[in-house]
């Protein structure tokens, strides 16, 4: 039993590592779409190159989404078996399995759209300085990929097995939409973290593409904006829950990892806020590293607590 608990904790840790990459992949096409659009206001060449890099990053990270779906299913099966239940491989289209099947099919579609976007024949030297960098089709393609990835958040929690008593389909749709939007908006945080890391890793390419330091630092701030935008609402929600419990009750054991994750997420926001405000953001390696480290540790904190408890 002890070995099974450790195995479950290790599996959960591995899934959470992959989930971080999958969350980033689900929001990066949206960032690529927005980057395309701001290219219409100038610096089209830089925005086009940046959007294509975001698309490639999403494509590289996107297989993690399929592994997360498979891992979540395996985790449920392992938990049922530790409870002494015999689990047989059901049909992929049974109501209880449909959230995994639908999510996998949609995620695969999103991967195909992202692959098409990353190989799109972009126009790198527009004739006019303010011309739109990509064709309109590339903008729509990035938006379609983003929406397909968003749909996987909804299918993962849709009650295919049946609605609770007294709940209508409209009420269920409203609850699922609200929760999916919350999760997808938070995915902007890891998307911004990965975008910032890729930008910093490719800063020499950026220096060769753009000589104006103001523009380069603007690109760094653009990437730093999204960990703050995605992380701040989630951090406020978590702190509200933590403080509400601590002010009225003793701290339950399950609250410790949530509070630790909230503290680290606050560190993410602070690090990227300093990066956003810095005049020479592109060369601030310690801030890039601190923000990324705090985010990854925050995302893994519940699994790390579970693993420590198992030992």
Q: How many domains does the chain have?
A: 2
* 32, two tokens: 């690529």
| Residue at which a domain ends, from 159, 186, 213 | 186
Looking at the fold, whether 210 and 163 belong to one and the same domain comes out as no
pTM for this predicted structure: 0.87
Is the pLDDT reported for residue 143 higher than 90? yes
Same domain, 194 and 46: no
111 and 225 assigned to the same domain: no
Q: Are residues 160 and 215 in the same domain?
A: no
Lowest average pLDDT, out of 78-82, 143-147, 182-186, 262-266, goes to: 78-82
> Which string of DSSP letters, residue by residue, matches 32-77?
HHHHHHHGGGS-HHHHHHHHHHHHHHHHHHTHHHHHHHHHHHHHHH
Q: Is residue 204 domain-shared with residue 87, that is, in the same domain?
A: no
* pLDDT tens, residue by residue, 16-67: 999 999 999 999 999 999 988 887 666 677 788 888 899 999 999 999 999 9
Per-residue HEC secondary structure of 198-212 comes to HHHHCHHHHHHHCCC
Closest alpha carbon to 294 in 219, 226, 227, 200: 227
Q: Per-residue pLDDT tens for 253-278?
A: 889 999 999 999 999 999 999 998 88
**155 & 249 share domain:** no
Task: Give the C-alpha separation, 270 to 96, whole Å.
Answer: 41
Q: Note the pLDDT of residue 11.
A: 81
Pairwise CA distance, residues 288 & 199, whole Å: 10
- Dist. CA 222–CA 262, nearest whole Å: 24
Judgement on whether residues 17 and 121 belong to the same structural domain of the protein? yes
Residue 142 structural domain = 1-186
Residues 21 and 104 in one domain: yes
How high is the pLDDT of residue 127?
Answer: 42
pLDDT at 173 over 50: yes
Q: Which residue would you say has higher pLDDT here, 71 or 7?
A: 71
- Give the pLDDT mean for 285-308: 90
Structure tokens at 52: 């294509």
Q: Is the predicted pLDDT of residue 81 greater than 80, yes or no? A: no
Domain identity same for 125 and 173? yes
- Regarding whether 203 and 161 lie in a shared domain, the answer is no
pLDDT of residue 252: 86
Q: What angle do CA 266, 239, 251 make, to 5 degrees?
A: 120
pLDDT exceeds cutoff 80 at 141? yes
Regarding whether 199 and 110 lie in a shared domain, the answer is no
175 and 194 in a single domain? The answer is no
pLDDT, tens digit (0-9, with 9 covering 90-100), for 210-235: 666 777 788 889 999 999 999 999 99
Average pLDDT value over all residues in the chain: 85
Averaged pLDDT, 231-244: 93
Which tokens is 278 given?
Answer: 């810095």
Element (H, E) at 212: none
Domain boundary among 157, 186, 215: 186
Last residue of a domain, one of 121, 152, 186: 186
């Amino acid at each position: 039993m002890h070995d099974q608990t450790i195995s479950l904790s290790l599996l959960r840790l591995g899934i959470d590592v992959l989930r971080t990459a999958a969350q980033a992949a689900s929001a990066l096409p949206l960032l690529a779409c927005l980057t395309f659009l701001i290219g219409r206001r100038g610096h089209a060449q830089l925005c086009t190159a940046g959007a294509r890099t975001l698309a490639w990053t999403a494509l590289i990270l996107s297989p993690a989404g399929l592994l997360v779906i498979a891992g979540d299913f395996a985790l449920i099966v392992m938990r049922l078996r530790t409870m002494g239940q015999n689990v047989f491989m059901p049909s992929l289209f049974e109501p209880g399995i449909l959230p995994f099947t639908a999510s996998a099919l949609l995620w695969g579609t999103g991967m195909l759209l992202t692959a098409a976007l990353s190989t799109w024949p972009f126009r790198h030297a527009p004739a006019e300085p303010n011309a739109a960098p990509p064709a309109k089709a590339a903008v729509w393609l990035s938006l379609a990929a983003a929406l397909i990835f968003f749909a996987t958040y909804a299918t993962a929690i849709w009650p295919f097995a049946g609605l609770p008593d007294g709940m209508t389909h409209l009420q269920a749709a409203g609850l699922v939409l609200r929760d999916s939007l919350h999760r997808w908006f938070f995915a902007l945080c890891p998307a911004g973290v990965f975008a910032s890391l890729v930008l910093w890793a490719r800063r020499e390419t950026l220096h060769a593409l753009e000589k104006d330091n103001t523009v380069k630092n603007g690109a760094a701030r653009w990437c730093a904006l999204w960990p703050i935008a995605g992380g701040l609402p989630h951090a406020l929600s978590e702190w509200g829950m933590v403080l509400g419990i601590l002010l009225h009750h003793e701290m339950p054991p399950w609250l410790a990892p949530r509070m630790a994750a909230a503290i680290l997420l606050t560190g993410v926001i602070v690090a990227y806020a300093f990066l956003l405000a810095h005049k020479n953001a592109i060369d601030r390696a310690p801030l890039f590293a601190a923000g990324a480290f705090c985010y990854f540790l925050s995302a893994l904190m519940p699994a790390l607590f579970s693993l420590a408890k198992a030992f």
